[in-house]
Chain A
Amino acid sequence: MSIEVLSVKDLSFRYNSTEVLSGVSFSLKSGDYLAIVGPNGSGKTTLIKTVLGFFEPSAGSVSLFGSSPSRFNNWEKIGYLPQKLASLNPNFPATVKEIVALGLLSKKGFPKKISLSDQEAIDYALSLMDIIHIKDEFIGELSGGQQQRALIAKALVSEPELLILDEPTTALDPEGRERFFETLQILNNQKNLTIIIITHDIGTIGRYASRLLYLDKKVIFYGGFDDFCISKEMTDYFGEFSQHIICHRHDYGHA
């Protein structure tokens, strides 16, 4: 049975006098795979941060596994990859496995300590991201793509029910990107993992995500990817050429 993972109702957010989000509504059930797309500055990251309780909405409500973000405390259910890979401190003195282990803290009581028995979960997450061979390397000395995979492994290590990824493939090469999306697809299918992914890579995500939210401060489109491909918003915002790329790939992916 599908349970409601996330419900966003008439959500608005203002920063000083600037309206960043206006009347955003959508909901997700377990196993949904949502792609959030939209131009730069359209409020995608702000939407996610408001959902996670970083910001207090100006109006509207968020329900995360049935609780408001301020009262939510089952954080082990959520894996999160923030957007800012570029701001990762290259001198941070930790190995890949030390960084991935941090993702387990949400499952720990007080005081939070990582034990030897957590090693299996860490190795599993590293294997999923195909980086177990560099687990003892310094995080700051890796390539951008390897760092990004390490951070995704950190988001996955607690075996979350909801995985939120903010532009997770910016540093990955095309081959790595394909493998990454295939891994997510497997987790979505086999473990019923609910996924929210913010991306500009709409051509690739069309092959995997089941739902799409097109955001430009307000919701331009929200629904199934198939519906998006035949919608007026699709041609209005992407034009005939992009429609061909996105929806051709989408059809191909599900063939």
Chain B
Amino acid sequence: MDMHDLFTHGFIQRALITGFFIAILCSTLGVFLVLRNLSLIGDGLAHVTFGGVAIGLFFQSYPLYVALPIVMLSSLGILKLKEKAGIFGDTAIGIISSLGIATGIIIASIAGGLNIDIFSYLFGNILAINTGEMTVSIILSIGLMALIYILYQELVYISFDEDSARVSGIKVDRINTIICLMTALAVVLAMKAVGILLVTSLLILPAVTALQIARSFRMTLIISNIAGIFSVISGIIVSFFINLPAGATIVLINFIFFIFAFLYKNMVRSSVR
């Protein structure tokens, strides 16, 4: 099979289109999360997604629709634990994350027969995305990107310094809530692409790759988007031709980009010295 044949397959087309939109969303959101030391919120929420998917499977509902509100509520729970209970962000993420995993394990254990279905969500399969899932992913990604565009300056200011942003009249608490909810949505959407276990990588790796080489905030977002899109598209294609799991291939390509960016940064630094 050659490249031309590859693009004639409906499942490849759906994977590429869905992957493109999810990659843009995650790589943009990831820049703000990384700069705010919230990188692991994606990981925590992915673990909650595991619990949500298990509940969905247990009640024989569509798992994504059950996981979505649970993950969104959990993201608010992390925020409230951090703000109101004075618990550090990573600790709050750890608490909610382990609660999600524990719930998932107990439900899987009680149900007995969920294991195969749950495995498909743990490792993801972007090649199995159906038209309905693709449509939901596109609509939500476009909506969330529009929101990021509208709130861009506020997001940049809060990422730089929350206190100063507050004294500029920015509703910091409201924006923090929006960021958490957007992350919850992105995690649930990305779960199908790379799986619960690897969803954080779509948020973090393109962002840290961009942070190695970008020379302005806008450039950081652009490079992060390019790294995210290219790794997802090439990951799908490579995995198809050499018969590897798509999610893991996407993550490894993302990591290779990061290594190149890291080496480039260090080369530039040493040539300046």
Residues on A close to B: CB < 8 A?
49, 52-54, 73, 75-76, 78, 80-82, 84, 88-89, 91-95, 98-99, 102-103, 105-106, 108, 111-114, 138, 154-155
Contact = CB atoms under 8 A, between A and B. Distances in A.
Given A52-B166, A82-B163, A91-B35, 10 more contacts: A89-B160, A92-B159, A93-B215, A94-B156, A94-B217, A95-B215, A98-B216, A99-B160, A111-B150, A112-B154
Contacts of B216: 93-95, 98
A71 B235 CA distance: 52
Contacts of B166: 52-54
Interface of B: 35, 150-154, 156-157, 159-161, 163-170, 210-211, 214-217, 219-220
B217 A98 contact: yes
B164 A82 contact: yes
Given A91-B211, A113-B153, A73 B169 contact: yes
A-B CB proximity, top 10 nearest: A75-B169, A106-B168, A80-B167, A93-B220, A112-B153, A82-B163, A111-B150, A102-B157, A94-B217, A105-B168
A97 to B, nearest CB: 10
Contacts of B151: 111
25 contacts: A49-B163, A54-B163, A54-B166, A73-B169, A75-B169, A80-B164, A81-B164, A82-B163, A82-B164, A89-B160, A92-B35, A92-B159, A93-B35, A93-B211, A93-B220, A94-B160, A94-B217, A95-B215, A98-B156, A102-B156, A102-B165, A103-B164, A105-B169, A108-B153, A111-B153
Nearest to A83: B163
A73 to B, nearest CB: 6
A102 B160 CA distance: 9
Nearest to A74: B169
Contact of B170 (A53, A99, A105): A105
A203 to B, nearest CB: 28
Nearest to A87: B161
Nearest to A91: B211
Nearest to B36: A89
Contacts of A99: 160
Nearest to B161: A82
A137 to B, nearest CB: 10
Nearest to A160: B167
B63 to A, nearest CB: 36
A171 B214 CA distance: 27
Most chain B C-beta atoms within 10 Å of own C-beta, residue among A73, A84, A88, A89: A89
Given A89-B35, A102-B153, A114-B153, A75 B160 contact: no
A75 B163 contact: no
Nearest to A155: B164
A103 B163 contact: no
A132 B87 CA distance: 41
B170 A78 contact: no
Most chain A C-beta atoms within 10 Å of own C-beta, residue among B154, B210, B214: B154
A108 B157 CA distance: 13
A198 to B, nearest CB: 14
A154 B164 contact: yes
Nearest to B86: A16
A105 B217 contact: no
A105 B216 CA distance: 18
